[in-house]
Chains A and B, each alone.
Chain A
């Protein structure tokens, strides 16, 4: 157990946090890779998911894209990008974005497509334009699923940003990969522990955001019906009901079979 002690001593020693290669800098680098990649994935996936979910056209595309992108190995893409374009923020952003798009796309699409059609029809019959139906009715109702997708994407990206270190980039992976390379396993453990804590904290924060976004509860100061679900995998299961009551552990909305 001496590894654990050494690792904890390392983490709780103030000098190790300061400086250009200190824990503080590494955490910020890690958050930077994560933040940029999550933002880019959201910019790509959310509009596509909104359009396809709203029109119902091209849902086959979503299923194919989600499954295909998920099968793409992040590490290979990252290392290839480094060889092609050199070091910098571009390779990890590309690789991690490809990782973040599937859950976000699945969440957005499933969220919009699973909004109770009666509610959508009612909105239309009141004379809302299509744009308003989307922004005022469908998006608020789909928000828990969209944010659930964001949560899954963030979680995967923050965990995988570790491999950026392999391509001579920064981030918390430095400790993990250097530690293994030089056989100083307590250093690897420092990296592992820090990444885990970072992931747990981010996930906890996003879980709270998802919880707050549940419409009809006034948690976001908006009053609209319908609740929650959090996992990309569950998005793929078939819905048993047209207007699911997400509040108890009921059937999950889907990407497939639409």
Chain B
């Protein structure tokens, strides 16, 4: 703990690197997975294909992927880009499965109602189905973001920057306080990221806080209570 307080400026610099490496992939993955997931949603064959592909990608160990990627894409070994590409792949793999499942979960009645009030297919997807699938997506994003934070830490054994370097340095210098400081810093970072995504999800779904789905719901409820 004292180590952390004594090295706050280093911690901050490492945190920024750590965040860059772990969160850019989350954003990129989200940008890829949501359109892709929505696109394959209605096509059984395509959907099965993406699910299988995503499952295989997800099975590849991260450290292995960090090392193998430079052979597939034109980057150098031990380059930051490898980490970002690898983690983007994992994020996409996880979310691309979650998006269609989230869309499936939209109640048929809501879908019919949207069609009945005249939404086009695209409008319905953008304004009704995707917003309703935010809670499921948020759940997936939280797991991905927290996992990415710890994967970047693991990457320090093959020379990737971030707070994980405190582990490797501390281990080599036999300084357990530096390792403890690293654990605390990464733990706190992961929890903060987790909470921020949770809050973002809540902000995007204001209707979830009231238990009723329609705007007139609470009023009717109040009236019913007054009558009773």
Which residues in A have some Cβ–Cβ distance to B below 8 Å? Answer: 1, 3-4, 67-68, 70-77, 79-80, 82-84, 155, 158-160, 162-163, 166-167, 173, 176-177, 180, 185, 188-189, 191-193, 195-196, 199-200, 203, 231-234, 236-238, 240, 248-252, 254, 256
Cross-chain contact A71 with B153 (CB below 8 angstroms): no
Contacts known (A71-B194, A155-B59, A237-B139); A250 close to B101, Cβ less than 8 A: yes
Q: Which residue of the partner chain A has the closest CB to B194?
A: A67
Interface size in chain B (residues, C-beta < 8 A): 59
Nearest A residue to B66, CB-CB: A192
- Pick from B2-10, B144-152, B215-223 the stretch touching chain A: B144-152
Q: Determine whether the beta carbon of B153 is less than 8 Å from that of A75.
A: yes
A195 and B63 in contact, given A75-B167, A80-B183 (Cβ under 8 angstroms): yes
Per the 8 Å Cβ criterion, residues 136-184 of B in contact with A are 136, 139-140, 142-144, 146-147, 149-150, 153-154, 156-159, 164, 166-168, 170-171, 174, 176, 179-180, 182-183
A166 near B60 with CB under 8 A, answer: no
Asked if residues B191 and A196 are in contact (CB atoms below 8 Å), the reply is no
Q: Does B67 contact A (CB under 8 A)?
A: yes
Contacts of A200 on B, CB cut-off 8 Å?
56, 59-60
A83 with B154: CB separation less than 8 A: no
Known pairs A76-B183, A193-B64; A1 contacts B171 (CB<8 A) = no
User: Does residue B196 face the partner (Cβ distance < 8 Å to A)?
Assistant: no
- B interface majority secondary structure: helix
**Docked CA distance A83–B68 (Å):** 30
Q: Which of B66-124 contact A (CB under 8 A)?
A: 67-68, 71, 77-78, 94, 97-98, 100-102, 104-105, 107
Are the CB atoms of B101 and A252 closer together than 8 Å?
Answer: yes
A73 B186 Cβ-Cβ under 8 A = yes
Among B67, B100, B150, B186, contact of A180 (Cβ-Cβ < 8 Å): B67
Take A173-B63, A177-B157 as given contacts and tell me if A234 and B101 are in contact as well, using a CB distance cutoff of 8 Å: yes
* Interface residue from B94, B136, B174 paired with A252 (Cβ < 8 Å): B136
Indicate if the CB atoms of B63 and A162 lie closer than 8 Å: yes
A45-B78 Cα distance, complex, nearest whole Å: 36
Judging by beta carbons under 8 Å apart, are B62 and A159 in contact?
Answer: yes
B37 to chain A, nearest CB (A): 11
The CA-CA distance from A248 to B47 in the complex, in Å, is: 12
CA A103 – CA B77 in complex, angstroms?
Answer: 32
Can you give 27 contacting A-B residue pairs, CB < 8 Å? A67-B142, A67-B146, A67-B191, A71-B190, A71-B191, A73-B153, A75-B150, A75-B156, A75-B157, A76-B153, A76-B180, A77-B183, A79-B171, A83-B176, A159-B61, A167-B171, A173-B63, A180-B67, A191-B64, A193-B68, A195-B63, A196-B68, A199-B59, A233-B94, A237-B135, A238-B135, A256-B139
Contact yes or no, A73 B182, CB < 8 A:
yes
A249 cross-chain contacts in B, Cβ below 8 A: 47, 100-101, 104
Q: Which residues of A lie under 8 Å from residue B12 when comparing CB positions?
A: none
Does residue B207 face the partner (Cβ distance < 8 Å to A)? no
Among the listed A1, A166, A236, which residue makes an inter-chain contact with B157, where contact means beta carbons less than 8 Å apart?
Answer: A166
A231 touches B176 (CB 8 A): no
A78 to chain B, nearest CB (A): 8
Residues of A within 8 A of B55 (CB): 203
For A248, list chain B residues within 8 Å (CB): 104
Known contacts A73-B183, A185-B77; A250 and B105 CB within 8 A of each other: yes
Shortest CB-to-CB span from A198 to chain B, Å, is 9
Beyond the given pairs A166-B168, A234-B97, A251-B104, 11 more chain A to chain B contacts, judged by CB atoms under 8 angstroms and listed by A's residue number, are: A73-B164, A160-B61, A188-B158, A192-B64, A192-B67, A196-B61, A203-B59, A232-B143, A233-B139, A237-B101, A240-B107
